[in-house]
Chain A
Amino acid sequence: MPDPIQNKLGAYMDGELNRQERLEVERHIETCAACREEIQELTRVSNLLHDARLPEFTPANDFKTRLMLQLPRQQVVNRQNGREKFLWVGPVVALVAFIFLEVTTNLSSILAWAGQFGLMTLGGGNSSQMIWFSALKMLPGDLTAVPGLTWLNLVNNAGVLTQQVLVTLAWQTAAAILYWGLFVLAWKKTAGRQWAGMMEK
């Protein structure tokens, strides 16, 4: 008999084949005596397994009574429903945002002061022009002065402003993350020790 069919006979007996496979097997066993005999054999083995006597186990009630005496105190884990679980998120996010804003505001003042003395100048060249704008200006005919293309000046100014703001913001963000990260590490160490002490009690 074909191997694919033979491998499906057990599943056929268990009722685990889909409709197509079941019909395929049924069509096959109509004409294949070997497969019919195989199914009978499988059924016989299954009946033998089921008919084999079991020992007399502890009756269910006795088992339950003994078990109840041995059950430890159930550990109460977080059984809060979905909404209650996230109640703490709001205050924590507000606190984090507040710390972040305070740090960035203070740092922006420091950076502005440093910028007055040229300490925070990044990159060289003409800071009022984007690179592409400077390139266009250098081309013969100065494309930026062509009537109809003067809007390029607006785009350049917007780009320069964005660049300056982004660079400043990047510095502030990096410094704030570093500050906040050190703060969290220090808090974690202290809080971890406190929790460990409480759990031991």
Chain B
Amino acid sequence: MTEQIPEIEEGLLIQAREGDRNAYGELVSRCYADVIRVTYRLCGDEQLAQDAVQEAFIRAWVKLPEFQSKAPFSHWVYRIAVNLALDALRRKPQQSLDETPDASLLSDKTADPETAYLQKEQADMVQEAVNALPEAARSVLVLREYGDLSYDEISSVLDIPVGTVMSRLNYARNRLREILRKDRFEMEREYA
């Protein structure tokens, strides 16, 4: 179930490999949203994710002439961005999400303040649960749930066997369930 590269992307890749920056810009536009979403979910830090994604696209540009795979360009960028984000995360001092106020989540003008706050609480709860997973399991989960990659594609991006993808995903989901069940219970108790 590996996705084939669309024709239009193939054309852009050929031009970009020849040095066409506009073609590369178009490739970036097509996959930026997916890449930043996956990278953010992997590391839970907005600034770190933005920096990692920017660096990933720069590295992909430099190494583009060597990219000969038939897989979508975004999968290759996922691989670079995942590695960069995990490296940066290891170097970063650990701090909880509460210490990094994310004003952007509260800036939704369509929601009333209480709803926006509850949404932020839930988003933080989910992200903290994902952050609590070991790196190996987290990478697989994020690529599956947020990148929508098949098991074969995840296996290719992370360079691990498909069986390992399955076992890590099972572990991640079971672990998430335990953490979220506990968090939900505490949240319901707090707001009761």
Q: Which residues of A contact B (CB under 8 A)?
A: 7, 10-11, 14, 16, 41-42, 45-46, 48-58, 60-61, 63-64, 66-68, 70-72, 74-77, 79
Contacts and interface: CB of A to CB of B under 8 A. Distances in A.
Contact of B64 (A45, A50, A53, A74): A74
Given A16-B150, A50-B145, A52-B122, A71 B24 contact: yes
B32 A64 contact: yes
Nearest to B36: A57
A11 B54 contact: no
Given A49-B130, A64-B25, A76 B46 contact: no
A53 B105 contact: yes
Given A49-B145, A55-B46, A64-B32, A16 B1 contact: yes
Contacts, number: 108
Closest 4 CB pairs of A and B: A52-B126, A56-B104, A52-B123, A77-B65
Interface of B: 1, 17-19, 21, 24-25, 28-29, 32-33, 36-37, 40, 46, 49-50, 53-54, 57-58, 61-62, 64-66, 102, 104-105, 107-108, 119-120, 122-123, 126-127, 130, 144-146, 150-151, 166-167, 169-170, 173, 176-177, 180
Chain A interface SS verdict (over half): helix
Contacts of B176: 45, 49
Given A49-B145, A58-B50, A64-B29, A71 B58 contact: yes
